[in-house]
Chains A and B, each alone.
Chain A
Amino acid sequence: MNGKEDVWTAVEEFRRQYLTGELGHLPVDVFTLVELSLRLDVIPFDDLFAKYDSDAAITQDFTGIYVDAEAYVLWEKGPVWKQNRLRFSVAHELGHYVLHRDLASGLAFNSFDEFAQWIRRQDGQKYALEQAANEFAGRLLVPPEQLKIHFEQFSQEFDALFPRWRRDEGIRRLFADTISPKFGVNAQVVEVRLSAAE
């Protein structure tokens, strides 16, 4: 279910459909996308992160996304890493929206107990769903063509100085730190995308 290539195809279809014009710029403006293009309700949830370690969660009817109220309201005023984390979390929920709507309608919870059972589940299916949503988010926010362009520019500078830099974790990290602001993600996301591209 949702192998990497299926996810990549879904991302590119989604990008063609929605990320055009102003929305085609990076970093991806996830809230304009969610609220104005998809017309989903953004539902501020007080202390969602502080109490439950989560920035965002899509409703089971797929009409809204809960977001940590503080992170959402202070979006442009808070620390960049927090903004990046929320951007990734919303993109992750968008991944569920695009990839898992049909599946989730069959999993719909009819009681709190059913929800609790789902939360407790630690099986391959649940893991695969989360991985697919992560892959969707990473690919959406860090388009591979853009990553390649930045990587090649960086390579030209470093190849002459350090021919083996590609195996050097420190320099790879430097690359991720340098270009992650262009995508509005934290450096770890760029490192994962780099590995996925290799």
Chain B
Amino acid sequence: MNFGQLIKELRIAKQLTLRRCCAELGVDPSNWSKMERGVTPPPRDTRLLERWAAFLGVTREKKQDFLDLASLARQEIPPDMASDQKVVAALPAFFRAVRGQELEGERLKQFIEDLRAVHSPDKSAAL
């Protein structure tokens, strides 16, 4: 299990939705979501990580594992924008525009670039 999977498991075990968890911790849901999905690495700040671990119910015995997984994730997650292959895999299965305006031309291109951002590390991640 990697760090992102771990924090998702711990959050679900506490019966917290992403929004609720982020509100309690004072973090941005987009950034937390990227961390859970292994897109953005966790922060280096050990005290912050320890605070998250305590909030998520990590026991004293498991705290070092939590910090080690965070450290490993920082080494493994590339800082690059998502590749085309990754963005294609993340395309929506369906797309319903409320006002019936379909995605075409430049709008479609922009949508794909915005989707790429959703699957790319946030360089200004302010966790």
Chain A residues within CB distance 8 Å of chain B: 31-32, 35-36, 39, 41-47, 49, 51-55, 57-62, 64, 66, 69, 72-73, 75, 85, 89, 92-93, 96, 100, 104, 107, 109-112, 115-116, 119-120, 129-130, 133
Contact = CB atoms under 8 A, between A and B. Distances in A.
28 contacts: A35-B12, A41-B33, A42-B18, A42-B19, A42-B33, A43-B118, A44-B29, A44-B30, A45-B114, A45-B118, A46-B117, A49-B98, A51-B107, A51-B111, A57-B92, A58-B93, A60-B91, A60-B93, A61-B89, A69-B29, A69-B30, A72-B19, A92-B96, A111-B88, A112-B84, A112-B87, A130-B94, A130-B96
B6 interface: no
A130 B30 CA distance: 28
B45 to A, nearest CB: 23
A119 B103 contact: yes
Residue in B36, B92, B111 whose Cβ sees the most chain A Cβ within 10 Å = B92
A50 to B, nearest CB: 11
B19 A59 contact: no
Interface of B: 8, 12, 15, 17-19, 29-30, 33, 36-37, 84, 87-104, 107-108, 110-112, 114-115, 117-118
B99 to A, nearest CB: 5
Nearest to A129: B94
Contacts of B33: 41-44
A137 to B, nearest CB: 11
Nearest to B101: A53
B90 A59 contact: yes
B95 A54 contact: yes
A104 B115 CA distance: 20
Contacts of B94: 57-58, 93, 96, 100, 104, 129-130, 133
Closest 6 CB pairs of A and B: A57-B92, A53-B97, A60-B93, A44-B30, A104-B93, A35-B17
A13 B8 CA distance: 27
A61 B110 CA distance: 22
A46 B91 contact: no
A104 B12 CA distance: 27
Contacts of B110: 51
